[in-house]
Amino acid sequence: MRQTEVVRDRMSREPFVVVALPAPLAVGERVSRRAWPAHVTLASNFVVEGTADAVVSAVRRVCAGERPLKLRFGDAAWFGPRQDIAVQLVDSARILALHARLADSLEALDGFAPDGPGYWREGYRPHMTHVPGVATPAGTSAQLPFVAVAVMPGATATVVATTLLEEDARGS
pLDDT tens column, 98-151:
999 999 999 999 999 998 888 899 999 999 887 776 778 889 999 999 999 999
Do the domain assignments include residue 169? Answer: no
Distance CA 135, CA 30 (A): 24
Q: For residue 92, give the CATH number of its domain.
A: 3.90.1140.10
Q: Is 6 helix (H, G, I), strand (E, B) or coil?
A: coil
Helix (H) or strand (E) holding 89: strand 85-91
Residues in the chain: 172
Distance CA 103, CA 121 (A): 7
Distance CA 125, CA 5 (A): 30
Do the domain assignments include residue 101? Answer: yes
Do the domain assignments include residue 171? Answer: no
Do the domain assignments include residue 23? Answer: yes
pLDDT at 97: 96
Do the domain assignments include residue 170? Answer: no
Sequence-separated (6 or more) residues with CB below 8 Å from residue 53: 6, 8
pLDDT (tens digit per residue) in 92-109: 999 999 999 999 999 999
Taking a C-beta distance cutoff of 8 angstroms, is the pair 17, 150 a contact?
yes
Do the domain assignments include residue 48? Answer: yes
Q: What is the pTM of this model?
A: 0.87
Do the domain assignments include residue 104? Answer: yes
Distance CA 144, CA 14 (A): 26
The parent domain of residue 103 ranges over 2-164
pLDDT band per the 50, 70, 90 thresholds, residue 56: very high
If one counts the domains in the chain, the total is: 1
